[in-house]
């Protein structure tokens, strides 16, 4: 009789690496709490992006390193615990110097996060779409962060995020930094742009001759499809904030209508029934589990009589 061995499930980092090296680009959706992460998983996204912008917005503070690492870590860990797909965490510029990065990597890995993404801007960083200080970190300082992250991790994906195009330093600087970060040991590169067309990121992908998977964030060049990115050799698209933005508009419209109408009657048909909330909370599973163990407890008590 042939024995069939049950292979262990891949670790979160293994699942993320597989997504980065799949035949078609992986699709990651931004989230800031378990509810939004479960909705993204339910919709079919292969990766959850623990979005610094969304986490900051949910806390009501600017995306400018106002929140400390423990707050961002707790948010990312709650996502990792709530879904079965891997979570890639937006870790800004590493929350400080190389020693902060070492602490960060160990903490995020211990909490089940699949990967961390660090950007090569100065700490504290400012959201890339805000006019203000977008100065890059010295290339050697950031390369040291990447090397330290990859040396202390046990099973964690380390993504180097290139901000040269955001800061106005140009394509040559982006490519130079990509080469250095690859030599430093990064597992993937993320090229960021705030232009309304994808020309810059497409030009980068064509000019980059290294071996690392390349990730895009099509926030401002939103006409780009996943097929466009596949044809040009991208490994992942991160939709970093669309879920939050859509919920903001929906909540505002609902709340305004309730105030105007003086009741909730006019909004009930357009909002989710409570059952959907209960399902996302895993309420049916909780009740089933409770009933099963209560029945087991009764059987054990009966057997002891």
Residues classed as catalytic: 63
Task: Please check whether residue 138 is in contact with residue 97, taking contact to mean a CB–CB distance below 8 angstroms.
Answer: no
How many whole angstroms separate alpha carbon 68 and alpha carbon 107?
13
Strands 236-239 and 115-119: unpaired
Kindly state the helix (H) or strand (E) to which residue 69 belongs, with its residue range: helix 69-82
CB 158 within 8 A of CB 187: yes
Which residues are registered as beta bridge partners of 90? 117
Residue that the structure tokens 């980065």 belong to: 20
Which of these, 166, 174, 258, 217, lies nearest to 52 by C-alpha position? 217
Chain centroid to CA 11: 17
Q: Are 13 and 155 in contact (CB under 8 A)?
A: yes
Residues in the chain: 305
Separation of alpha carbons 302 and 157, rounded Å? 51
């Amino acid at each position: 009789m042939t024995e069939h061995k049950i292979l262990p499930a891949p670790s979160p980092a293994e699942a993320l690496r597989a997504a980065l090296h799949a035949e078609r680009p992986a699709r990651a959706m931004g989230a800031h709490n378990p509810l939004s992460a479960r909705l993204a998983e339910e919709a079919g996204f292969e990766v959850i992006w623990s979005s610094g912008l969304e986490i900051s917005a949910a806390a009501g503070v600017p995306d400018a390193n106002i929140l400390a690492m423990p707050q961002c870590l707790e948010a990312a860990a709650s996502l990792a615990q709530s879904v079965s797909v891997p979570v890639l965490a937006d870790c800004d510029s590493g929350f400080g110097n190389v020693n902060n990065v070492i602490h960060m990597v160990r903490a995020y890995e211990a909490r089940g996060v699949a990967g961390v993404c660090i950007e090569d801007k100065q700490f504290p960083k400012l959201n890339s779409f805000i006019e203000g200080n977008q100065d890059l970190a010295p290339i050697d300082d950031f390369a040291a962060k990447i090397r330290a992250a990859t040396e202390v991790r046990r099973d964690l994906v380390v993504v180097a995020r290139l901000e040269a195009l955001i800061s106005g330093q140009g394509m040559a600087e982006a490519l130079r930094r990509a080469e250095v970060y690859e030599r430093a040991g990064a597992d993937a590169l993320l090229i960021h742009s705030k232009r309304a067309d994808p020309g810059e990121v497409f030009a980068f992908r064509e000019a980059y001759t290294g071996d690392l998977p390349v990730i895009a964030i099509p926030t401002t060049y939103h006409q780009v499809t996943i097929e466009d990115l596949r044809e040009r050799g991208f490994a992942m698209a991160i939709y970093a904030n669309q879920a939050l933005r859509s919920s903001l508009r929906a909540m505002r419209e609902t709340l305004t209508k309730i105030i105007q109408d003086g009741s909730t009657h006019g909004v009930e048909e357009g909002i989710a029934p409570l059952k959907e909330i209960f399902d996302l909370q895993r309420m049916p599973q909780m009740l089933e589990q409770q009933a099963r163990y209560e029945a087991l407890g009764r059987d054990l008590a009966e057997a002891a009589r």
